[in-house]
Amino acid sequence: MKSIDGRIVKIALSAASLAYTIYLFIDGSWISGIFMTLLTALLVLLVFRSMRLVLAFLQIRQQKMDKAKAWLERVNPNHLWKNQKGYYYFLMGSVDVQKNSLSKSEEYFRKALSHGLRMDHDKAAVYLNLAVILANKRKKREATHALNEAKKFDAKGYLKKDIKEVGKFVNSI
């Protein structure tokens, strides 16, 4: 039996909430309408964000990789929007690189780039991680290319220090 896509349920709930909110305003229940507007806004936000990805990201920020992996394993990437898939694979790669699973994390980082990431500094972080993985695999030319891509996407200099350190490591190969 095929399961229902969670996005469809979220969209239906958001639409019903919006319709009820409009009804409350037309009926003259202004206070109830204002509270329903807030609830509808929250439901619309949930349509566009996967809460499991957000929770996994928070676990990674706290360096709790096992809990982050558990949250990520609950996510079905086929039920994510296109941009969310990129961030899903980015988080999966980040968790696996901490566990020294280089081949699997390289695959996840490449998938993240192919699905797309919205922020340039996220792309720079993915390329930087790829450079480290490729350098550990003794693929100097590919690591240098990934490092140059990381420099290109790190326009604001968030990863400047890390890029410099990885550059030294790549050059020592």
Residues 6+ apart with CB under 8 A from 163: 124, 128, 147, 150, 151, 154
Quick one: pLDDT at residue 50? Answer: 74
Burial environment of residue 4 by CB neighbours within 10 A (0 to 12, 13 to 18, 19 or more): exposed
Quick one: pLDDT at residue 80? Answer: 84
Cα 71 to the center of its chain, rounded Å: 13
Q: Indicate the domain borders of the chain.
A: 1-48, 50-171
Quick one: pLDDT at residue 92? Answer: 93
List the chain residues with pLDDT less than 50. none
Please tell me the CATH superfamily of domain 50-171, with its number.
Tetratricopeptide repeat domain (1.25.40.10)
| Whether 90 contacts 112, CB under 8 Å | yes
| Whether 69 contacts 33, CB under 8 Å | no
